[in-house]
């Protein structure tokens, strides 16, 4: 058994682990990364963000081809199977792995592929895939092991027709009908994907509304467009039992209803990957969802052990995880190169997509903030008409008296890109963070960015 000394050992090579490792090595630390899988990238690259977004993009292209009259000169509408569409995602995954592997190589970061567990607060034991065992002695540790789908004990995930958001990528056929249990971000995204492929979708929502953290108007728009795509949404429902049969799945609901489909996708919650890590050896105890509690410096209850990414819970986004990992490394180096990540924009890749940053109308109303609304509907935007993407809107919430921008909410094509213009302005101080910026700035025409000027003028017209 070999023993090697490091300044920082990072457990996990997803966005949080990569962010921590890259920043630590740039700050002069000797770094090792332990990755349980055979390739770098974590669940983000192999099971979550990258494959699902690549899958969505392909489905969106199919929808465009099948609904655009211009393409009828080429041929009739086409049907594509789920496995065939998934091949595009597999190509993207391999490219991402290649890029990320090169990042580690260029920065001389040692990667050990195997299972790592804590022996004490300064020692990580790694059982590598080739059977050899290494002990890594280190000053600091960053836990960035991510999360996995929550699996209740009374659901038989070994059944060939019952999937979670990881195993759905192994689907070898295209079901005619699918039940998606859980209408959070993952559930809504897959509802868009499957309905775009012509699959009948039953979306089971355990809550009152879809994605209740969104602005009400945006949530309502999502509900409308999912239904327009043929998705049947059932609100305020909880499962009693799930029964796999030879030809499908039957979902029994506590309300007495029962729904049958060819397959079921369980998309109801995630659990932190903290099992078998030896946390008991250092006195760290995960919560009931396997997540670790950290302070604003991303330290756990043990001073030299940090955690970042999905393993700490909210907001469980790849974008935030990368910055959390960087901040954990900045804290380790004690050079003030860190921040507590709490300004995260929401990016939801449904069809159409959704993105927002800042306060929504419900929050501002509850806080009794005198705000006003500016809107730009995409159907009136020249760029949206050119690209044949008329669905959606940009909504700016601003203070009636100071004109300070308080929230940006976008629904439609490229929403996750468009929101960053508003995010940049909201981060400014004084006059730079007001509606006047959008009014007094010349935007390229035609662009989707121009929607900010249209929305700002619309909002100013409401003032009296």
Answer yes or no: is 58 a known binding residue.
no
Answer yes or no: is 44 a known binding residue.
yes
Answer yes or no: is 185 a known binding residue.
yes
d(Cα 396, Cα 404) in Å, to the nearest integer? 10
Answer yes or no: is 310 a known binding residue.
yes
Q: Quote the tokens at residue 191.
A: 């509802």
Answer yes or no: is 183 a known binding residue.
yes
Answer yes or no: is 147 a known binding residue.
yes
Q: Quote the tokens at residue 289.
A: 């969802």
d(Cα 358, Cα 395) in Å, to the nearest integer? 12
Answer yes or no: is 188 a known binding residue.
yes
Cis peptide preceding 436, ω within 30 of 0: no
Answer yes or no: is 40 a known binding residue.
yes
Strand 354-358, strand 346-348: pairing:
antiparallel
d(Cα 22, Cα 29) in Å, to the nearest integer? 10
The alpha carbon torsion through 19, 20, 24, 27 (nearest 10 deg) reads: 50
Contact between 406 and 364 (Cβ < 8 Å): yes
Answer yes or no: is 53 a known binding residue.
yes
Q: Quote the tokens at residue 304.
A: 């030299």
Answer yes or no: is 395 a known binding residue.
no
Answer yes or no: is 35 a known binding residue.
yes
Strand 258-261, strand 123-128: pairing:
unpaired
Answer yes or no: is 410 a known binding residue.
no
Q: Quote the tokens at residue 37.
A: 């899988």
Contact between 299 and 197 (Cβ < 8 Å): no
Answer yes or no: is 39 a known binding residue.
yes
d(Cα 409, Cα 60) in Å, to the nearest integer? 22
d(Cα 8, Cα 17) in Å, to the nearest integer? 11
Answer yes or no: is 136 a known binding residue.
no
d(Cα 259, Cα 249) in Å, to the nearest integer? 8
d(Cα 69, Cα 64) in Å, to the nearest integer? 10
Answer yes or no: is 463 a known binding residue.
no
Answer yes or no: is 160 a known binding residue.
no
Answer yes or no: is 139 a known binding residue.
no
Answer yes or no: is 75 a known binding residue.
no
Answer yes or no: is 32 a known binding residue.
no
Answer yes or no: is 309 a known binding residue.
no
Answer yes or no: is 116 a known binding residue.
yes
Q: Quote the tokens at residue 382.
A: 């020249």
Nearest-Å Rg of the Cα atoms of the chain is: 24
Residues that constitute the known binding site for FAD: 35-44, 53, 116, 145-147, 310
Annotation: binding site: 35-44, 53, 116, 145-147, 182-189, 269, 310
> Which residues line the annotated binding site for NAD(+)?
182-189, 269
């Amino acid at each position: 058994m070999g023993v090697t000394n490091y300044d920082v050992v990072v457990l996990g090579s997803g966005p949080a682990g990569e962010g921590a490792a890259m920043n630590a090595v740039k700050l002069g630390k000797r770094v090792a990364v332990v990755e349980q899988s055979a390739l770098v990238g974590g669940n983000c690259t192999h099971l979550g963000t990258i494959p699902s977004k690549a899958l969505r993009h392909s489905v969106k292209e199919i929808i465009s081809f099948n609904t655009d009259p211009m393409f009828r000169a080429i041929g009739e509408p086409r049907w594509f199977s789920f496995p065939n569409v998934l091949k595009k995602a597999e190509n993207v995954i391999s490219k991402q792995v290649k890029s990320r592997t090169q990042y580690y190589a260029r920065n001389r970061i040692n990667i050990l592929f195997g299972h790592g567990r804590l022996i004490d607060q300064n020692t990580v034991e790694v059982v590598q895939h080739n059977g050899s065992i290494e002990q890594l002695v280190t000053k600091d540790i960053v836990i960035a092991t991510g999360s996995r789908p929550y699996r209740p004990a009374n659901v038989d995930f070994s059944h060939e027709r019952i999937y979670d958001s990881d195993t759905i990528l192994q689907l070898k056929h295209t079901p005619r009908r699918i039940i998606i249990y859980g209408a959070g971000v993952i559930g809504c995204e897959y509802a868009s994907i499957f309905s775009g492929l012509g699959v009948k979708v039953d979306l089971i929502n355990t809550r009152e509304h879809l994605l209740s953290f969104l602005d009400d108007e945006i949530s309502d728009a999502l509900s409308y467009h999912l239904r327009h795509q043929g998705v049947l949404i059932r609100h305020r429902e909880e499962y009693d039992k799930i029964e796999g049969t030879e030809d499908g799945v039957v979902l029994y609901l506590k309300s007495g209803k029962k729904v049958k489909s060819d397959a079921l996708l369980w998309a109801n919650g995630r659990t932190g990957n903290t099992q078998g890590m030896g946390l008991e050896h250092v006195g760290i105890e995960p919560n009931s969802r396997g997540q670790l509690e950290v302070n604003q410096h991303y330290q756990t209850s043990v001073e030299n052990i940090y955690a970042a990414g999905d393993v700490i819970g909210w907001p469980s986004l790849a974008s935030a995880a990368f910055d959390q990992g960087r901040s954990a490394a900045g804290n380790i180096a004690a050079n003030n190169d860190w921040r507590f990540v709490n300004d995260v924009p929401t990016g939801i890749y449904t069809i159409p997509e959704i993105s927002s940053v800042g306060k929504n109308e419900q929050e501002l109303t509850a806080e009794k903030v005198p705000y006003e609304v500016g809107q730009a509907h995409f159907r009136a935007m020249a760029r949206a008409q050119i690209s044949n993407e008329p669905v959606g809107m940009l909504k700016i919430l601003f203070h009636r008296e100071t004109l300070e921008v308080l929230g940006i909410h976008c629904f439609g094509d490229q929403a996750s890109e468009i929101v960053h213009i508003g995010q940049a302005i909201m981060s400014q101080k004084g006059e730079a963070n007001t509606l006047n910026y959008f009014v007094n700035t010349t935007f390229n025409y035609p662009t989707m960015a121009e929607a900010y000027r249209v929305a700002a003028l619309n909002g100013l017209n409401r003032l009296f």
